[in-house]
Amino acid sequence: MERDYIVLKLETEYPGYTGKEKWMIITDLSEEQFAGLYPGDYWMWKEAVVVSKEIGVEILRYRVNENKHRRRMLRQEEPFGEEALDIEDEKVSEEFSNLWLKDALDTLPPDQRRRIKRHYVLGFSEKAIAEHEGVNQSTVHRSIKRGIRNLQKYSVTHKEGQQDA
């Protein structure tokens, strides 16, 4: 059965929304028609702003266009420049200077160390790292995965060494 309405949760659709209504019901039904056809859902009517389908279509069209625009902007952004990477790598080195993790990272091959720092500490995606380095994303993924396994091995032997001391 096709419904004569669409419901949007306002706080999900509009982060930061503070109004008393919790729902937006998009329908051309009157309150009485809605209550008669959908008694199980009628409770929403009391906490909703009700708009016509004509307005609802425009709201949904706007949302679709905003999502397209956001995705387009993300595709056009350069993930990071060479200078930013050098500066960020220095910051990472400073942050880890007094931690055992720095020692653990130093045991990794340079590619694994660099990719783990860029991915987990600096927050770059595997795809962005791969594009920057001119390699396949799968290469970056495998390198990071091997690096994590090596860090786990280091962690186990490091903890055992502390217990023996």
Q: Is 139 exposed, middle or buried (0-12, 13-18, 19+ CB in 10 A)?
A: middle
Residues 55 and 37 in one domain: yes
Q: What is the pLDDT of residue 1?
A: 53
- Strands (DSSP E) found in the chain: 5-9, 23-27, 48-51
pLDDT at 24 over 50: yes
Give the mean pLDDT of 107-126: 84
Residues 127 and 143 in one domain: yes
Tally of domains within the chain: 2
Answer positive or negative: Cα dihedral of 6, 11, 16, 21: positive
Give the mean pLDDT of 116-145: 86
Note the pLDDT tens digit of each residue in 28-63.
Answer: 999 999 889 888 888 888 888 888 888 877 777 777
> Beta 5-9 vs 48-51: how paired, if at all?
unpaired
Residues 94 and 29 in one domain: no
Which of 43, 76, 109 is the endpoint of a domain? 76
Residues 117 and 160 in one domain: yes
Q: What is the pLDDT of residue 22?
A: 85
Note the pLDDT tens digit of each residue in 78-105.
Answer: 555 544 544 445 555 544 444 567 778 8
Q: What is the pLDDT of residue 2?
A: 66
Residues 86 and 50 in one domain: no
Pull the structure tokens for residue 34: 């809605």
Distance CA 100, CA 164 (A): 17
Which structural domain range is residue 105 located in? 82-164
The mean of the pLDDT values for the chain is: 77
Question: Rg of the chain over CA atoms, in angstroms?
Answer: 26
Which of 20, 53, 76 is the endpoint of a domain? 76
Residues 71 and 90 in one domain: no
Q: What is the pLDDT of residue 14?
A: 77
Residues 108 and 62 in one domain: no
Q: How far is CA 51 from the centre of its chain?
A: 31
Distance CA 63, CA 108 (A): 45
pLDDT at 141 over 50: yes
Helix (H) or strand (E) holding 44: none
Q: Which residues pair with 25 in a beta bridge?
A: 7, 50
Residues 41 and 86 in one domain: no
Among 79-88, 90-99, 106-115, 151-160, name the most confident range.
106-115
